[in-house]
Amino acid sequence: DAGVIQSPRHEVTEMGQEVTLRCKPISGHDYLFWYRQTMMRGLELLIYFNNNVPIDDSGMPEDRFSAKMPNASFSTLKIQPSEPRDSAVYFCASSPGLAGEFVPSYNEQFFGPGTRLTVL
Amino acid sequence: GQQVMQIPQYQHVQEGEDFTTYCNSSTTLSNIQWYKQRPGGHPVFLIQLVKSGEVKKQKRLTFQFGEAKKNSSLHITATQTTDVGTYFCANTGTASKLTFGTGTRLQVTL
């Protein structure tokens, strides 16, 4: 398996433009996560899906951000309109989901290489 | 929401010296996962701790979960330049959701 695939790897855009980030999770994984990483705020969870359904979007900064997962092998994170403060590295991660029957034991998350977004 | 703090934020060591990063929470942690992120790279899973007082080893790395499940530590014995990176702890929450710590950046020089 190629692992989690993200595109593009780098994106430079101007303020006000729409940005779409793409992710292909590992086949068979039930969970998909979108994170944002900045020096100031560290690694933040934006939204995650279980079986293509958004479960928790409380980390999405504002209405300019939206995420979709139309099928098990594809997800997008869209920013419209983009602003300079959105500049960050955006990671997608996938996970097989819960493991263990008697002791809650959560599976590891597999991260993609990230998209470095620069909004001028 | 829950905050998971790590100390130190940054540490610079000479190759061969030991290194420890601490992960602390004001509330009880569920399970702890540790990740390593190389410069310019993405987080990579190292290990998961589940039980109170649990200790796990991976070669020169020793991971520990506190008895009260409010803290965890990662200790590297005899650091090497390949250990350079940022180490994150992460608390597992509801349904696979992770809350990442603030991270400790390790620099190792010859």
- Which residue has tokens 């939204």? A47
* Residue A104 in this model has a pLDDT that exceeds 80: no
Q: What is the pLDDT of residues A62-98, one digit of tens each?
A: 899 999 999 999 999 999 999 999 999 999 999 886 6
Q: What is the pLDDT of residues B65-86, one digit of tens each?
A: 999 999 999 999 999 999 999 9
Residue B95: name the closest of A100, A4, A47, A55 by CA: A55
Taking any CB pair shorter than 8 Å as contact, residues of chain B touching chain A are: 30-31, 33, 41-45, 48, 50-51, 88, 92, 94-100, 102-103
Question: Across all residues in chain A, what is the average pLDDT?
Answer: 91
Cβ distance A110 to B45 less than 8 Å, yes or no, reads: yes
Chain A positions touching B30 (Cβ under 8 A) are 104, 106
| Other residues' Cβ atoms within 10 Å of the Cβ of residue A2 | 7
Q: pLDDT-derived band of residue A2, with 50, 70 and 90 as boundaries?
A: confident
Chain A positions touching B56 (Cβ under 8 A) are none
Q: pLDDT-derived band of residue A60, with 50, 70 and 90 as boundaries?
A: very high
Model pLDDT, residue B97: 78
Between CA A117 and CA A87 the distance in angstroms is 5
Residue A18: name the closest of A67, A88, A80 by CA: A80
A41: left (phi over 0), alpha (psi -120 to 50) or beta: alpha
